[in-house]
Amino acid sequence: MKLFKKTVSGTGRVHIYFAGIKIISYQAHVQGDINGLGNNISVPRSHKCQLHVHGNNNSIIIEEVPENYSTNLILYVGFPGTECNNCKIHIGKGTSFEQASIVVCDNDTVIEIGDDCMFSFLEQIWASDTHTIINDKQEIINIGHHVKIGNHVWVGADVSILKNTTIGDNCILGTKSVVGGNFTKPGCVIAGNPARVVKENVNWSRQRPNEYIAGGKK
């Protein structure tokens, strides 16, 4: 038995228990709706994300970002009438979202997004399919297990990242790409539909080219 336990109610109220006794209760600063038991939610107050959680024992941890970074993210874990349980989502420090969405529909899914990633507009992370595909033996062949994105990854506009995908550190995902599979080598440009590695040994900066040339390299 854990000595400390934190739960979030459907109204977004946080309850903290010690040895089974409630010791703290407060209203969390979360946009959206949280439904279920035993969900652990940690989001910076400055983050503009919307969380829609339907299920139990899910963990969503979002780290701090600089005040001038965009944080427009919509995250769906389950849907009304279709609960999703025991999922773990962690988004690292300094990761920004201009306008992105993440969809999780399968139990026990793990999403890991590293530090200092930059998501542009209209990206979608489909960590699960929303319908079932079966083979000739009536076995389900499209269960989503994970999406893992390394540190310092730039995701271009209108990119779709599919279930069971891994992206290495310092990679760039080209605009309108559909990315699925294991791209574990760092420093690659990954682009196309279906996406493939089109360039290696690269890195990127949040600065615009003229700022970078001027000498304020970051």
pLDDT surpasses 60 at 10: no
Domain extents in the chain: 30-213
pLDDT in tens, 141-184: 999 999 999 999 999 999 999 999 999 999 999 999 999 999 99
List all residues 6 or more positions away from 27 whose beta carbon is below 8 Å from its beta carbon.
Answer: 11, 12, 13, 14
pLDDT surpasses 60 at 19: yes
pLDDT in tens, 62-113: 999 998 999 999 999 999 889 999 999 999 999 999 999 999 999 999 999 9
CA-based nearest residue to 122, from 69, 163, 161: 161
Res 75: pLDDT: 96
The model's pTM is 0.85
pLDDT in tens, 109-148: 999 999 999 999 999 999 999 899 999 999 999 999 999 9
CATH architecture of 30-213: 3 Solenoid (2.160)
